[in-house]
């Protein structure tokens, strides 16, 4: 079973007021944030969790178990304790998002007299943080800003977070070369070796970052050489 449980006695807790013999029903989602009850996942992300506290017995369902799922042993829980809040951590499994589109799932907790929901959205791209990414408000369209270097530059970098083994290659590679071309899950800043541009035309290349079957194309541009006449 992938569920962890913490018991918290309710007696004396100020946020619940009930008289002797009265029943109470309370559920609070802790993760994702109780403010938004939502979380955005990168395309290659395959693990996260749902954490909540409840005074009731409950059942848990996913609106799209084809990509957002959990162990079926964690699908329901019977609370046998009176005047107790029980905190649960449910481990979630996601399949990499290779659809090229934003997708979402709702995890619904049914128990007591109400239902609570948490929202998980998975974008179709990797966690590239430099260069920056322009994303629409609804997360459905995006584009990476072109990494631009002056003609005289010999060094630049890209930054990203990935959740599996990764590779980074240049399509052309005649003037831009990553100093590191592969690695494991983690947060990275990879430096790029550049050759100075000595011609009067800008040049372009594309870096391909691949993780868990998803590839992001990072555009790179080096400005043209400008001769300054006296």
Residue 73's φ and ψ, nearest 5 degrees, are -65, -20
Higher-confidence position of 7 and 102: 102
Choosing from 122, 143, 159, the residue where a domain stops is: 122
Residues 172 and 193 in one domain: yes
Position 230 in a domain: no
pLDDT higher than 50, residue 16? no
* pLDDT per residue as tens digits for the range 168-177: 999 999 999 9
Whether residue 176 is contained in a domain is answered as yes
* 85 inside domain: yes
Which among 105, 122, 139 is the end of a domain? Answer: 122
Residues 7 and 106 in one domain: yes
What are the beta bridge partners of residue 86?
A: 7, 54
d(CA 8, CA 57): 15
Pair (115, 58) in one structural domain? yes
Asked if residue 73 is part of any domain, the answer here is: yes
Domain count, the chain: 2
Kindly report the CATH number assigned to the domain that includes residue 190.
Answer: 2.60.40.10
> Between 2 and 99, where is the model more confident?
99
Do 150 and 41 lie in a common domain?
no
pTM of the model: 0.86
| pLDDT of 63 over the 60 cut | yes
Instruction: For Cα atoms 211, 70, 28, give the angle at the middle one, nearest 5 degrees.
Output: 110
The closest alpha carbon to 219, from 158, 167, 135, belongs to 158
**Residue 24 in contact with residue 56, Cβ under 8 Å?**
no
Please state the rounded mean pLDDT for residues 184-196: 98
Q: How much of the chain exceeds pLDDT 70, in percent? A: 88
In this structure, the answer to whether residues 116 and 132 fall within a common structural domain is no
Structure confidence at residue 58 (pLDDT) = 94
Same domain, 66 and 97: yes
- The whole domain housing 113 covers 3-122
Q: Are residues 43 and 90 in the same domain?
A: yes
pLDDT band of residue 1 (cuts 50, 70, 90) is very low
Query: Do 89 and 172 reside in the same domain of the chain?
Result: no
Residue 81 shares a structural domain with residue 111 = yes
pLDDT score recorded for residue 65? 97
Q: Both 40 and 99 in a single domain? A: yes
Average the pLDDT over each of 18-27, 96-105, 109-118 and give the range with the smallest value.
18-27
> Are residues 82 and 148 both part of a single domain?
no
- Say how many C-beta atoms besides its own lie within 10 A of residue 199's C-beta: 9
100 & 208 share domain: no
């Amino acid at each position: 079973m992938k569920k962890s449980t913490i018991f918290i006695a309710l007696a004396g807790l100020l946020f619940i007021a009930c008289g002797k013999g009265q029943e109470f029903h309370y559920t609070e989602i802790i993760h994702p944030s109780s403010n938004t009850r939502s979380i955005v996942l990168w395309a290659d992300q395959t693990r996260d969790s749902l954490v909540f506290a409840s005074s009731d017995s409950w059942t848990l369902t996913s609106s799209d178990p084809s990509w957002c799922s959990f162990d079926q042993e964690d699908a329901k829980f019977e609370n046998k304790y009176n005047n107790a809040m029980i905190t649960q951590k449910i481990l979630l499994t996601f399949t990499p998002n290779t659809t090229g589109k934003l997708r979402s799932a709702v995890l619904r907790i049914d128990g007591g007299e109400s239902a609570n929901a948490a929202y998980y959205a998975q974008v179709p791209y990797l966690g590239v943080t430099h260069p920056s990414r322009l994303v629409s408000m609804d997360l459905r369209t995006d584009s990476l800003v072109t990494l631009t270097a002056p003609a005289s530059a010999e060094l630049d970098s890209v930054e990203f977070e990935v959740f599996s083994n990764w590779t980074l290659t240049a399509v052309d590679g005649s003037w831009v070369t990553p100093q590191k071309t592969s690695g494991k899950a983690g947060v990275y800043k990879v430096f790029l070796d550049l050759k100075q541009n000595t011609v009067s035309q800008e040049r372009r290349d594309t870096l391909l970052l691949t993780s868990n079957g998803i590839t992001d194309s990072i555009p790179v541009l080096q400005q043209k050489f400008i001769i300054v006449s006296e």
